[in-house]
């Protein structure tokens, strides 16, 4: 699968003919000033929770790409009132099959628990925060959103084999490196892509130390450069 990093917790993953974009926060992110927002593609925009650093560019990118917003009911409803009119509301525990191409191939999105908070930028209730488990013919992956380490992650590891996972590693607002290592064990995944680090002062990490800790545990930690595309 082709993965592109747009900074903070924003990644796109291409499945079949479709591009899934997670948690767009690009134009307000000084670290992502090399990204031309008008070139960011998305067929689906998946949003883990209502905080500004996860939805800032959701309406713009939904309109620009005629993309479908997938999130909890409260966030889909709020974004529809801001102009992102194509939405698919879900909630934790549910799954849905979305088109990976125009020939009937699907990928599966399952909403899973995240331990965090969720409120929209204007104070509107933002529902429960969540993560996403994506299953496709090309592989399975887990996008954790903003979350603490939680024992519920063991359910994900028992439920499906995970080829790679996006985990927050920046600490302070989410789990940090040490807890992300335990999370990797809970979900039984050897390929971790770090997110939610270095964007703000509170979440600055020592990436050399992070790499060393993961290497000691025999788990691969990938830290993308902003704008970088890799195939996993
Ligand atoms: Ni958050
Ligand atoms: Mn956040």
The rounded Å distance from CA 104 to ligand 2 centre is 34
Compute, in angstroms, the gap from residue 11 CA to the centroid of ligand 2. 14
Q: Give the Å distance between the CA of 52 and the centre of ligand 1.
A: 8
- The ligand placed nearest to the CA atom of residue 195 is 2
Q: How far is the CA of 197 from the centre of ligand 2 (A)?
A: 9
Q: Is the dihedral of CA 72, 1, 227, 194 positive or negative?
A: positive
Q: Using the mean position of ligand 2's atoms as its centre, give its distance from the Cα of residue 114 in Å.
A: 12
Q: If you measure from the C-alpha of residue 76 to the centroid of ligand 1, how many angstroms do you get, rounded to a whole number?
A: 17
Q: How far is the CA of 218 from the centre of ligand 1 (A)?
A: 29
Say what the pLDDT of residue 22 is.
99
CA quadruple 99, 101, 103, 108: dihedral sign: negative
Residue 198: its pLDDT value, please? 98
Following CA atoms 88, 110, 171, 173 in sequence, which dihedral angle do they give, to the nearest 10 degrees? Answer: 40
Which ligand places an atom closest to the C-alpha of 200? 2
Contacts of 161 (CB under 8 A, 6+ apart): 140, 188
Contact assessment for residue 17 and residue 101, using Cβ atoms and an 8 Å cutoff: yes
Q: Tell me how far apart the alpha carbons of residues 198 and 192 are, in angstroms, rounded to a whole number.
A: 17
Ligand sitting nearest the alpha carbon of 199: 2
The alpha carbon of 174 and the centre of ligand 2 are apart by a number of angstroms equal to: 8
Q: Which residue from 110, 122, 115 is spatially nearest to 55, judged by alpha carbons?
A: 122
Decide: pTM greater than 0.95: yes
- Look up residue 155 and give its two tokens: 């359910």
Q: Which residues of the chain have pLDDT under 50?
A: none
Distance 100 CA to ligand 2 centre (A): 28
Report how far ligand 2's centroid is from the alpha carbon of 33 (Å).
19
User: Strand, helix or coil at 25?
Assistant: coil
Contact 84, 42 (CB under 8 A): no
Ligand closest to CA 120: 1
Q: What b/e sequence results for 197-231 when a residue is b if at least 16 CB atoms lie within 10 Å of its CB, and e otherwise?
A: bbbbeebebeeeebbebbeeeebebbbbebeeeee
Nearest ligand to residue 114 Cα: 1
Q: Which of 16, 72, 7 is nearest to 224 (CA)?
A: 7
Residue pair 193/184 in contact (Cβ under 8 Å)? The answer is: no
Give distance in angstroms: CA of 49 to centre of ligand 1.
7
Beta strand pairing call for 139-143 and 130-136: antiparallel
Rounded alpha-carbon distances, angstroms, from residue 90 to 46, 201, 203: 11, 33, 29
Is-contact 54 75, C-beta < 8 A? no
Ligand 2 center from residue 51 Cα (angstroms) = 6
CA of 200 to the centre of ligand 1 (A): 13
Print the SS3 string covering 44-99: EEECCCCCHHHHCCHHHHHHHHCCEEEEEHHHHHHHHHHCCCCEEEECCCCEEEEE
């Amino acid at each position: 699968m082709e993965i592109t990093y747009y900074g903070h917790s924003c990644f796109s993953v291409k499945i079949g003919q479709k591009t899934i974009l997670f948690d767009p926060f690009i134009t307000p992110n000084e670290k992502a000033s090399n990204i031309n927002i008008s070139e960011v593609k998305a067929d689906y925009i998946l949003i883990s929770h209502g905080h500004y650093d996860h939805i800032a560019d959701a309406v713009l990118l939904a309109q620009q790409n005629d993309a479908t917003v997938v999130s909890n009911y409260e966030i889909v409803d709020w974004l529809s009132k801001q102009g992102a009119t194509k939405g698919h509301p879900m909630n934790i525990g549910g799954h849905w099959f979305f088109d990976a191409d125009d020939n009937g191939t699907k990928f599966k999105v399952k909403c899973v628990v995240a331990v965090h908070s969720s409120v929209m930028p204007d104070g509107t209730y933002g529902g429960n925060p969540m993560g996403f488990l994506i299953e496709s013919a090309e592989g399975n992956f887990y996008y954790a959103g903003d979350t603490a380490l939680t024992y519920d992650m063991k359910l994900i590891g028992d439920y499906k084999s995970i080829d790679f996972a996006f985990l927050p590693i920046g600490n302070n607002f989410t789990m940090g490196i040490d807890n992300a290592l335990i999370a990797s064990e809970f979900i039984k995944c050897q390929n971790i892509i770090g997110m939610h680090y270095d964007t703000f002062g509170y979440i600055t990490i020592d990436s050399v130390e992070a790499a060393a800790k993961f290497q000691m545990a025999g788990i691969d930690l990938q830290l993308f450069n902003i704008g970088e595309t890799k195939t996993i």
